[in-house]
A = this chain, B = another copy of it.
Amino acid sequence: MTRWVYDFAEGSMEMRELLGGKGANVAEMTRVLGADRVPAGFTITTEACVAYMRAERNEPEDLAREVADALARLERHAGRRLGDPADPLLVSVRSGARESMPGMLDTVLNLGLNDESVLGLARATGNERFAWDSYRRFTQMFGNVCRGIPGERYEEEIAAAKARRGATLDTELDAQALRELTDRFREIYRDATGERFPQQPAEQLRLAIRAVFDSWTGERAVAYRRLNRIPDSWGTAVNVQQMVFGNKGETSGSGVAFSRDEVTGAPEPSGDFLPNAQGEDVVSGARTPRDLAEMREWMPHVHSELLEILRTLERHYGDMQDTEFTVEEGRLYMLQTRNAKRPAQAAVRFAVDAVREGLLTRERALLTIDPGSLDALLHPTFDPQFSFEVLARGVAASPGAAKGAIVFTAPDAVHAGEQGRDVILVRPFTDAEDVAGFHAARGIVTSEGGKASHAALVARGMGRPAVVGAGELSIDLAARTVSAGGRLLQEGDVIAIDGTRGVVTVDDVPLVPPSVNEYFERVLEWADGLRRLGVRANADTPTDARRARELGAEGIGLCRTEHMFMAADRQPKMRAMIMAHDEEARRAALAQLLPLQQQDFEGLFEAMAGLPVTIRLLDPPLHEFLPNAEDLATHIERARLERSPELERLERLLERVHEITEENPMLGTRGCRLGILYPEIYEMQVTAILRAAKAAARPPHPEIMIPLVGYETELALMRELVERAGEREGLTIGSDYTVGTMIELPRACFVADRIAGFADFFSFGTNDLTQTALGFSRDDVESRFVPVYLDRGIIDRSPFETIDQLGVGWLVRLAAWVGREAHPGLKLGICGEHGGDPESIAFFHQAGLDYVSCSPFRVPIARIAAARAAVMHPLQSWG
- Per the 8 Å Cβ criterion, residues 738-765 of A in contact with B are 744-747, 750-751
Contact A669 B750 (CB under 8 A): no
Q: How far is the CB of A545 from the nearest CB of chain B, in Å?
A: 29
Point out the residues of chain B lying under 8 angstroms from A779, CB to CB: 662-664
Contact A710 B664 (CB under 8 A): no
Q: Does A72 contact B (CB under 8 A)?
A: no
Q: Does A878 contact B (CB under 8 A)?
A: no
Name the residue in A751, A777, A780 with the highest tally of chain B Cβ atoms < 10 Å from its Cβ: A780
Chain B residue nearest to A711 in the complex (CB): B794
Point out the residues of chain B lying under 8 angstroms from A781, CB to CB: 667-669, 673
Q: Does A634 contact B (CB under 8 A)?
A: yes
Contact A808 B747 (CB under 8 A): yes
Query: A-side binding surface: helix, strand, loop or mixed?
Result: helix
Q: How far is the CB of A738 from the nearest CB of chain B, in Å?
A: 22
Q: Does A580 contact B (CB under 8 A)?
A: no
Q: Does A772 contact B (CB under 8 A)?
A: yes
- Per the 8 Å Cβ criterion, residues 592-645 of A in contact with B are 629-631, 633-634, 636-638, 641-642
Q: Does A224 contact B (CB under 8 A)?
A: no
Contact B775 A710 (CB under 8 A): yes
Contact A774 B745 (CB under 8 A): yes
Q: How far is the CB of A407 from the nearest CB of chain B, in Å?
A: 22
Contact A713 B636 (CB under 8 A): no
Chain B residue nearest to A745 in the complex (CB): B775
Contact B808 A676 (CB under 8 A): no
A794–B708 alpha-carbon span in the complex (Å): 14
Given the interface pairs A746-B807, A793-B713, A807-B750, the reply to whether A668 lies near B634 with Cβ below 8 Å is: no
Instruction: Give the interface segment out of A266-274, A306-314, A546-554, A784-792.
Output: A784-792
Contact B713 A777 (CB under 8 A): no
A662–B776 alpha-carbon span in the complex (Å): 11
Q: Does A806 contact B (CB under 8 A)?
A: yes
Contact A777 B663 (CB under 8 A): yes
In the complex, per-residue mask of A771-815: 1 if CB is within 8 Å of any chain B CB, else 0:
111111101110011001100111100000000101110110000
Chain B residue nearest to A431 in the complex (CB): B663
Contact A792 B667 (CB under 8 A): no
Contact B810 A750 (CB under 8 A): yes
Q: Does A717 contact B (CB under 8 A)?
A: yes
A637–B773 alpha-carbon span in the complex (Å): 41
Q: Determine which of B710, B713, B807 lies in contact with A747 in the assembled complex, contact meaning CB atoms within 8 Å.
A: B807
Name the residue in A717, A744, A772, A810 with the highest tally of chain B Cβ atoms < 10 Å from its Cβ: A772
- Per the 8 Å Cβ criterion, residues 685-714 of A in contact with B are 708, 710-711, 713-714
Chain B residue nearest to A781 in the complex (CB): B668
Contact B747 A773 (CB under 8 A): yes
A747–B794 alpha-carbon span in the complex (Å): 14
A637–B636 alpha-carbon span in the complex (Å): 9
Name the residue in A663, A772, A775, A788 with the highest tally of chain B Cβ atoms < 10 Å from its Cβ: A775
A673–B717 alpha-carbon span in the complex (Å): 39
In the complex, per-residue mask of A709-731: 1 if CB is within 8 Å of any chain B CB, else 0:
01101100100000000000000
Point out the residues of chain B lying under 8 angstroms from A773, CB to CB: 745-747, 750, 772
Contact B634 A714 (CB under 8 A): no
Given the interface pairs A638-B637, A676-B792, A746-B773, the reply to whether A667 lies near B780 with Cβ below 8 Å is: yes
Point out the residues of chain B lying under 8 angstroms from A710, CB to CB: 774-775, 807
Contact B795 A711 (CB under 8 A): yes
Name the residue in A638, A663, A664 with the highest tally of chain B Cβ atoms < 10 Å from its Cβ: A664
Chain B residue nearest to A708 in the complex (CB): B775
Name the residue in A641, A708, A711 with the highest tally of chain B Cβ atoms < 10 Å from its Cβ: A711
Q: How far is the CB of A658 from the nearest CB of chain B, in Å?
A: 9
Q: How far is the CB of A808 from the nearest CB of chain B, in Å?
A: 7
Chain B residue nearest to A717 in the complex (CB): B792
Contact B636 A638 (CB under 8 A): no
A491–B747 alpha-carbon span in the complex (Å): 45
Contact A780 B669 (CB under 8 A): yes
A775–B711 alpha-carbon span in the complex (Å): 11
Given the interface pairs A630-B629, A668-B780, the reply to whether A785 lies near B673 with Cβ below 8 Å is: yes
Q: Does A666 contact B (CB under 8 A)?
A: yes
Q: A residues touching B (Cβ–Cβ < 8 Å)?
A: 629-631, 633-634, 636-638, 641-642, 662-669, 671, 673, 676-677, 708, 710-711, 713-714, 717, 744-747, 750-751, 768, 771-777, 779-781, 784-785, 788-789, 792-795, 804, 806-808, 810-811
The 5 nearest A-B residue pairs measured at CB: A747-B807, A667-B777, A664-B777, A668-B780, A662-B780
A–B complex contacts, Cβ < 8 Å, 11 sampled: A630-B630, A669-B780, A673-B785, A677-B788, A710-B807, A711-B795, A713-B793, A745-B773, A746-B811, A747-B774, A750-B807
Q: Known pairs A746-B774, A750-B810. 16 more at Cβ < 8 A?
A: A629-B630, A630-B633, A631-B633, A633-B634, A637-B638, A637-B641, A663-B779, A664-B665, A666-B775, A711-B789, A713-B792, A717-B794, A744-B775, A745-B774, A747-B804, A772-B773
